[in-house]
Structure 1
Amino acid sequence: MSMSSWSSRRFLLGFALAVLLIAGVVSSLASASPDGLDAATLRGCDTVETETGEALVGDCIAKNAADHQLSATPLADYAVGGRSGLTGVAGIIGAVATFAVAAVVFRLLARARRHRAGP
Structure 2
Amino acid sequence: MKRSLGFVFGGLLVALLLAGVVSNFASSHPDGLDSSLREGCTFDADDEITGGSCPAQEEKEHEIGGPLADYGISGLDNDILSTGLSGVLGVLLTFAVAGGTFWLVRRRGPEPAPEHVAGSPGAGRTDPATTDPTATNKA
Asked whether the 8 Å contact 1:56–1:63 carries over to 2, the reply is no
Taking the TM superposition and a 5 Å limit, the aligned residue runs for 1:29-68 are 29-47=25-43, 56-68=50-62
Aligned-residue CA RMSD in angstroms?
2.5
Asked whether the 8 Å contact 2:38–2:54 carries over to 1, the reply is yes
Which of the numbers 57, 68, 72 marks the counterpart of 1:75? Answer: 68
Deviation of 1:59 after TM superposition, in Å, equals 1.0
CA distance in 2, matches of 1:28, 1:92: 12
In the comparison of the two structures, how many residue pairs are matched?
Answer: 106
CA distance in 2, matches of 1:25, 1:75: 17
CA distance in 2, matches of 1:67, 1:7: 46
Higher RCO, 1 vs 2 (CA within 8 Å, ≥6 residues apart): 1
- Structure 1: unaligned runs, 5 residues or longer: none
What corresponds to 1:23 in structure 2?
A: 19
- Structure 2: unaligned runs, 5 residues or longer: 112-139
Greater helix proportion: 1
Asked whether the 8 Å contact 2:44–2:50 carries over to 1, the reply is yes
Q: Deviations over 1:67-112 (max 9, x none)?
A: 3344x211111111165432222111111111011011101102xx
**Larger Cα-atom Rg:** 2
Alignment TM-score, normalising by the size of structure 1? 0.71
Alignment TM-score, normalising by the size of structure 2? 0.62
Amino acid at match of 1:101: V
State the identity %. 42
Consecutive aligned runs of 4 or more in structure 1 exceeding 3 Å deviation: none
